[in-house]
Amino acid sequence: MASTVYSSADVDDTAQIGDGTTVWHLAQVRERARIGKDCTVGRGAYVGPGVVVGDRVKIQNYALVYEPAVLENEVFIGPAAVLTNDLRPRAATLDGRLKGTQDWSAVGVVVRHGASLGAGVTVVAPVTVGQWAIVGAGSVVTRNVPDYSLSVGSPARHVAWVGRSGGTLLPAGAHRWRDPLDGRGYDDHGGELRELAR
C-alpha cells in the first residue's frame, strides 16, 4: 500500500516515506528524514532533518521532533510534544552573530520500541525514553526514563511500572509484577524491569 501525503504537507524530496504511511495537512518532513511503514504524521507536525522513525509510529498533531531524534517501532508521540536538540540554546554567538547550523552540534532524543509520550510532553536532549515506557501529559523529561516506567511531572519522575498494554502493573510476589490487562509477567532486577517469557 502506497504512502499518502496531503497536498498541503511539505515533504523534502530526499525524505523517505514508507508504505502505508500518511503525512497529514501542514506537516513538514525535512531533508533525509526516514519514516517507516504504516505511520501517521499528524497535522502541523514537524520531523527534522535526518530524523529516523520506525514502523507503526504515531506522531500526533503539532508535535515537534528535532534532529537527530530516533523513534523506534510502535512509538506514540502525543499532540504538541517537543523533542529538543540543543544543550545550550542561544540565539546569537559570543561575538553577536545570529547562530546558524554551523555554530552548534545537535544532540538527540531516543524513544525506544513501544514507548509513549503524552500530550504536551517536553523531552530535553540528550535522553533516552525506554521501551514501553509512558511519560504522562505535560511532563518535562530531563533524564533517561527506564523501560516500562510510568513517569510524570516536571521534572518527570518514576511513579509506577506499566506493561505493554499500557496498564499499571500489580505486585505478584517478590520482585514480580503482573499486567492485569493482558496477564504478562515482569521481573524487577534492582529497578530494571524485564518481561518474563510467556
Task: Provide the percentage of residues in the chain whose pLDDT is more than 90.
Answer: 92
**pLDDT tens digits, residue range 21-68?**
999 999 999 999 999 999 999 999 999 999 999 999 999 999 999 999
Q: Tell me how far apart the alpha carbons of residues 118 and 172 are, in angstroms, rounded to a whole number.
A: 28
Architecture of domain 1-87+105-162 in this structure? 3 Solenoid (2.160)
- The predicted pLDDT at position 131 comes to 98
Band of residue 197 on the pLDDT scale cut at 50, 70, 90: confident
| Residue 161 β-bridge partners | 149
Angle at 13 between CA 11 and CA 15, to 5 degrees: 65
Residue 104: pLDDT over 90? no
Residue 190: pLDDT over 90? no
Neighbours of 141 (CB within 10 A): 26
Is 66 within 8 Å of 83 (Cβ atoms)? yes
Q: What integer is the mean pLDDT of 152-165?
A: 97
Q: Grid coordinates 499528524 are at which residue?
A: 42
Angle at 85 between CA 81 and CA 86, to 5 degrees: 125
- The predicted pLDDT at position 181 comes to 95
Distance of CA 81 to the CA centre of its chain: 9
Residues 6+ apart with CB under 8 A from 46: 27, 28, 30, 63, 64, 65, 66
Q: What integer is the mean pLDDT of 111-118?
A: 98
> Where do the structural domains in the chain lie, given as residue ranges?
1-87+105-162, 169-198
Nearest to 21 by CA among 33, 38, 7, 46: 38
How buried is residue 105: exposed, middle or buried, by Cβ count under 10 Å (0-12/13-18/19+)? Answer: exposed
Cell of 11: 515533504
Residue 191: pLDDT over 90? no
Cell of 19: 508504505
Residue 189: pLDDT over 90? no
Q: Grid coordinates 498494554 are at which residue?
A: 165
The DSSP call for residue 143 is: S
Band of residue 101 on the pLDDT scale cut at 50, 70, 90: confident
- The predicted pLDDT at position 40 comes to 98
